[in-house]
Structure 1
Amino acid sequence: MAARTRRAEIGVVDLARELGISTATVSRALNGSAAVRPELAERVRQHAESRGYVANRLARALSANTSRAFVGFMIPYVDTPAYSAVAAELARLLSADGTQMILTITENDPERELRQLRELLASRVAGLVISTSTGVLEDTKRLLTRLPVVELHRASGIDAPGVFSDDEQTLAESVLHLAALGHRRIGYLGTPTALSNGESRLRGVRRGTELAGLGRDAVTVCLPEPTQENGYRGALELLGRSPAPTALLIGGGALSIGAARAVRASGRRLPDDLSLVVYGDPSWFALSDPPLTTIAVPYPELASRAARLLLGRLDGVAGGGLAAGGGLAGGGPNLIKPELIVAGSTGPPGG
């Protein structure tokens, strides 16, 4: 009796040829990329399932003896130090565990965020690390209850553990640092208080102002959406006030990059004409001349704790255990304090 011929496995190339589109488009659609129109992505997925591609993919994941082959990482922006650094480290850590990360970028758009979450759920991701948009929708919060979730940077009020930068204390220390140098007019450029981290940072600024014995009007506040362009515009707006601040304190990584550009464009010299404290990765800001005083956030540690916490939750779902480094479900250990690194961009008013 002749041996039965094994049916060739359907691949991305076959799907692309049958649909009349590129292999790159098919791959993006199957991986939940936001770069593919939702209607086209759905057509690709339906065709792939009808041809057995999705079933084969799931079979490979099951044969690898894992229930967590794919997880999602949903962020509002990728062109910021905070999210790009965490994304790279998180992907590395998850890959070492045999788990692949699917990155989606919402552009801080709540409707887009909801669509992308639905796509991730349809792709059967095992879990999700998410930094929600400013105006996260209630429908999104409801869908997030369907799978293990870890929040990062921003708390949305859902019942899920998270890993956050403990900004309040370090922002207070930054105000105290500037006040000790003699500054009595400080411009604070931070993120909106609709975001949990924006609220905690402003709370730190207020607490530092009080501890320094400054009047509440000593700090002028500007709270735009955290983009580089808004950092540029916001810094110029603060510097254009009368009287102008003698120091700027920036509460956000993307805002810091834009603000540094604005200070240079204004022609002010650091620290002779203006003191500047920025937020984020000190390795970037050390390249400035002079190096910038920085609220240094340990992004690799944030990524490490988020990965351990998510994998621990997945192990708990699948096998009732908790990964090494467990015990992270409590609020305290999930708060990571940034460090104020004083450099050449801060000094007494007027030099």
Structure 2
Amino acid sequence: MPDNPPEPGILLVNQIGGDIRRRVRLAELSPGDKLPSMRQLSREYGCSVGTLQQAISALTREGLLDSSERKGVFVAQSSNRPRFIVLALASLDTVGNIVTRVQDAIKQTPYHLIILAAQGDFGDQVEMLDLLVKNQVAGVILCPPTDNRFAPAVKRFLTHGIPCVQATIRLDGIDVDAVVFDGVEAGRLAFGHLLKKGHRRIGYVDLGSQVPSFCDIRTGADMALREYGLRFSDLAVSYVEGDVVDLSEPHANGTRATQSLLAEHPDLTAVVGINPVITTGIARAVHESGRSVPKDVSVVAIGDDGSFALSRPQITAVWTRKSVAAGRAAVRLCQILDGDAGSPRVMQVMPRLVERNSVLDLTEQDATEETPRHHEPQETSRSQ
């Protein structure tokens, strides 16, 4: 029955359950079908009858199977099959736009949406996902945080066999489909915009994250800088300290990192923030240092949460289109649930630069300074 024997080191109960779920989802097993005997299945899966019984019991509790000591094990009727898609978010920011996109993507399907939004610790999210497996979850759209330390927990969850698509950010070593923003293009747009405006002394407030999307941003920044004879290694970079966000003052880490950056490099003319929260902290640090945006320090954000259009000054940002990525991830998940799985692939959403008024154009300033001033002779008034 199984296509491949269980992989060494992976919990057999979860892998067996995942294989049976997949076969039900792909209609290889139809409602009312009787499964082979326990002894036959245990031989096919290469496990003990006791291990197989644990997997069958778990699927019975989920409502996917019906089990009877006398009649055997059957696939439950379609009304009991998984009908929920879970949207797991790393934070509450931009939740509205993301949810709207996902709802639009699945509204013509038989699935209903469950939303999980973390308030700091994404590990709690994964534990909740483990619990929801028992409540008829068909698939998961995972919008993870920018921290690879949660990758092992996600890997453990994937052993349940529930289809999963990553959206907005891609964690290392998670071998599932992903729809993410093009980090290289995001970095190129942010730094390229400042360089075109004449800025050369640019600072960068970074998280130090090594997830692929953020490494791509640095690559894109380096590409833009090289066009002007510079490199990413030439930048003044300040890394945010700590991985715990104070929910009452989420921009505080960005403020502290920028204060250190400006103290060490007082000649900076511009600073780029790795995300909207950090960039809000950058703008505050500039103000608290007695300087202003953009007169003294220009500011650009990677990521636009909508509030920048209302701030003073309005912040120029690279819109990474997270909601678009989440919507496309939902479409991809529905395709997988319909049987179009194939090999995991990464799809990219192209970001866009939203130019506002937080960047001073130094090229215009230089041109003004270089233009000779012609003083007209003043007329002398005569008293009558």
Q: Distance in 1 between matches of 2:353 and 2:252?
A: 25
Amino acid paired to 2:293: L
- Aligned twin of 1:223: 239
- Aligned twin of 1:257: 280
Structure 1: which 5+ residue stretches go unaligned?
1-52
Structure 2 residue corresponding to 1:76, chosen from 56, 79, 90: 90
Report the CA distance between 1:71 and its aligned residue: 1.4
Q: Distance in 1 between matches of 2:356 and 2:174?
A: 39
Q: Are residues 235 and 163 of structure 1, via their aligned partners in 2, closer, same or farther at CA, if it must alter by over 3 Å?
A: same
Asked whether the equivalents of residues 189 and 318 of structure 2 are also in contact (C-alpha less than 8 Å), the reply is no
Does residue 144 of the first structure (1) align with residue 158 of the second (2)? yes
- Aligned twin of 1:153: 168
Structure 2 residue corresponding to 1:339, chosen from 352, 357, 360: 352
* TM superposition score normalised by structure 2: 0.64
Q: Distance in 2 between matches of 1:100 and 1:291?
A: 38
Amino acid paired to 2:304: D
- Aligned twin of 2:378: none
Report the CA distance between 1:108 and its aligned residue: 5.2
- Aligned twin of 1:210: 226
Asked whether the equivalents of residues 187 and 247 of structure 1 are also in contact (C-alpha less than 8 Å), the reply is yes
- Aligned twin of 1:170: 186
Q: Distance in 1 between matches of 2:313 and 2:302?
A: 16
Residue correspondences, number: 285
Alignment of 1:31-46 (within 5 A): none
SS at match of 1:97: coil
Q: Distance in 1 between matches of 2:125 and 2:323?
A: 25
Amino acid paired to 2:309: A
Report the CA distance between 1:241 and its aligned residue: 2.1
- Aligned twin of 2:266: 243
Asked whether the equivalents of residues 294 and 357 of structure 2 are also in contact (C-alpha less than 8 Å), the reply is yes
Q: Distance in 2 between matches of 1:273 and 1:177?
A: 17
Structure 2 residue corresponding to 1:277, chosen from 300, 304, 325: 300
Q: Distance in 2 between matches of 1:280 and 1:104?
A: 22
SS at match of 1:174: helix
Asked whether the equivalents of residues 62 and 133 of structure 2 are also in contact (C-alpha less than 8 Å), the reply is no
Q: Distance in 2 between matches of 1:259 and 1:216?
A: 19
Q: Distance in 1 between matches of 2:253 and 2:104?
A: 31
Asked whether the equivalents of residues 83 and 136 of structure 2 are also in contact (C-alpha less than 8 Å), the reply is no
Report the CA distance between 1:141 and its aligned residue: 0.2
Q: Distance in 2 between matches of 1:90 and 1:258?
A: 30
Q: Distance in 1 between matches of 2:355 and 2:234?
A: 21
Q: Distance in 2 between matches of 1:213 and 1:128?
A: 45
Q: Are residues 85 and 256 of structure 1, via their aligned partners in 2, closer, same or farther at CA, if it must alter by over 3 Å?
A: farther
Q: Are residues 110 and 118 of structure 1, via their aligned partners in 2, closer, same or farther at CA, if it must alter by over 3 Å?
A: same
Report the CA distance between 1:72 and its aligned residue: 1.3
Q: Distance in 2 between matches of 1:151 and 1:64?
A: 27
Q: Are residues 215 and 307 of structure 1, via their aligned partners in 2, closer, same or farther at CA, if it must alter by over 3 Å?
A: closer
Q: Distance in 2 between matches of 1:87 and 1:228?
A: 24
Q: Distance in 2 between matches of 1:229 and 1:96?
A: 42
Q: Distance in 2 between matches of 1:152 and 1:348?
A: 35
Alignment of 1:1-351 (within 5 A): 67-78=81-92, 80-81=93-94, 83-95=95-107, 97-107=109-119, 109=121, 111-133=123-145, 134=147, 135-145=149-159, 146-156=161-171, 157-216=173-232, 218-224=234-240, 225=243, 228-281=251-304, 283-316=306-339, 330-331=345-346, 334-348=347-361
Q: Are residues 223 and 272 of structure 1, via their aligned partners in 2, closer, same or farther at CA, if it must alter by over 3 Å?
A: same
SS at match of 2:311: coil
Amino acid paired to 1:240: A
Q: Are residues 299 and 113 of structure 1, via their aligned partners in 2, closer, same or farther at CA, if it must alter by over 3 Å?
A: closer
Asked whether the equivalents of residues 103 and 113 of structure 2 are also in contact (C-alpha less than 8 Å), the reply is yes
Structure 2: which 5+ residue stretches go unaligned?
1-60, 67-75, 366-384
Cα deviation, 1:7-54, whole Å, max 9, x if unaligned, reads xxxxxxxxxxxxxxxxxxxxxxxxxxxxxxxxxxxxxxxxxxxxxx98
Moved >6 Å (runs of 4+): none
